[in-house]
Amino acid sequence: MKLIAAKDYDQMSQIAARYFAAQVLLKPTSVFGFATGSTPIGLYKELIRKNAEGKITFKYAHTVNLDEYYGMPRDHEQSYYSFMHANLFDHIDIDPANTRLPNGMAEDADAECRAYDEHIASLGGVDMQLLGIGHDGHIGFNEPSDHFSLGTNCVTLTEMTIEANKRFFASANDVPRKALTMGMREIMQAKKIVMVVNGKDKAQILYDSFCGPITPAVPASILQLHPDVTLVADEAALSVMKEHCKCCKCCK
Ligand code: PGA
In this model, does residue 156 exceed pLDDT 80? yes
Q: Is the CB of 168 under 6 A from ligand 1?
A: no
CA 135 to ligand 1 center in whole angstroms: 8
List the single range of 32-46, 91-105, 124-138, 232-246 with lowest mean pLDDT.
Answer: 232-246
- CA dist list (Å): 113 to 66, 153, 170: 12, 6, 29
pLDDT given for residue 251 in this prediction: 58
Secondary structure (3-state) at 42: helix
Number of the ligand 1 atom closest to the C-alpha atom of 139: 9
Q: Is the Cβ atom of 219 under 6 angstroms away from ligand 1?
A: no
Ligand 1 close to Cβ of residue 133 (< 6 A): yes
Any idea which residues carry the catalytic annotation?
67, 136, 138, 143
CA distances, 100 to each of 120, 148, 156 (Å): 10, 24, 22
Ligand 1 centroid to residue 15 C-alpha, Å: 18
> Exposed/middle/buried for 199, CB within 10 Å: 0-12, 13-18, 19+?
middle
- Region 153-179: what's the mean pLDDT? 94
How large is the average pLDDT for residues 95-109?
98
Q: What is the pLDDT of residue 210?
A: 97
The reported pLDDT for the residue numbered 244 is: 84
124 pLDDT more than 60: yes
* Mean pLDDT of all residues in 205-228: 97
User: Is the pLDDT at 247 greater than 80, yes or no?
Assistant: no
Cβ partners under 8 Å of residue 127, min gap 6: 23, 27, 30, 31, 32, 190, 191, 192
Phi/psi at 147 (5° precision) = -150, 155
Looking at residue 240, its pLDDT comes to 97
**Tell me, what DSSP letter sits at residue 104?**
T
Q: Residue 249 above 60 pLDDT?
A: no
